[in-house]
Amino acid sequence: MKRGTLIAFEGLDGCGKSTQLELLAEVLREAGFDVLATREPTDGAMGQRIRAMARSGEVIPAEEELRWFVEDRREHVRDTIEPALAAGRMVLTDRYTLSSVAYQGARGLDPEEILRAGEAEFPLPDLALLFELDADAGLARVKARGGVAEPSFEQSAFLQKAEKIFESLERAYIERIDASPAPEQVRERVLAVLHERLALL
Position 168 pLDDT exceeds 90: yes
What Å distances lie between residue 127 and 3, 8, 87, 178, CA to CA?
14, 6, 18, 16
pLDDT at 149: 58
Identify the domain containing residue 30 by its residue range.
5-198
Asked whether 45 and 130 are in contact (CB, 8 A), the reply is no
Q: Dump pLDDT digits (tens) for 37-60.
A: 999 999 999 999 999 998 888 889
pLDDT of residue 146 exceeding 70, the answer is yes
Contacts of 166 (CB under 8 A, 6+ apart): 10, 11, 12, 98, 102, 130, 132
Answer yes or no: is pLDDT of 152 > 80: no
Mean pLDDT of 81-106: 98
What is d(CA 114, CA 136) in angstroms, rounded to the nearest whole number? 25
Q: 10: which strand partners?
A: 130
Residue 125 has pLDDT above 70, yes or no: yes
Q: For residue 19, which amino acid is it?
A: T
Number of structural domains the chain divides into: 1
Instruction: List the CATH number of the domain containing 25.
Output: 3.40.50.300
Confidence of residue 143 (pLDDT cuts 50, 70, 90): confident
To the nearest whole number, what is the mean pLDDT of the chain? 95
Model confidence at 147, pLDDT cuts 50, 70, 90, reads low
Distance CA 96, CA 173 (A): 13
The region of weakest confidence among 116-120, 140-144, 184-188 is 140-144
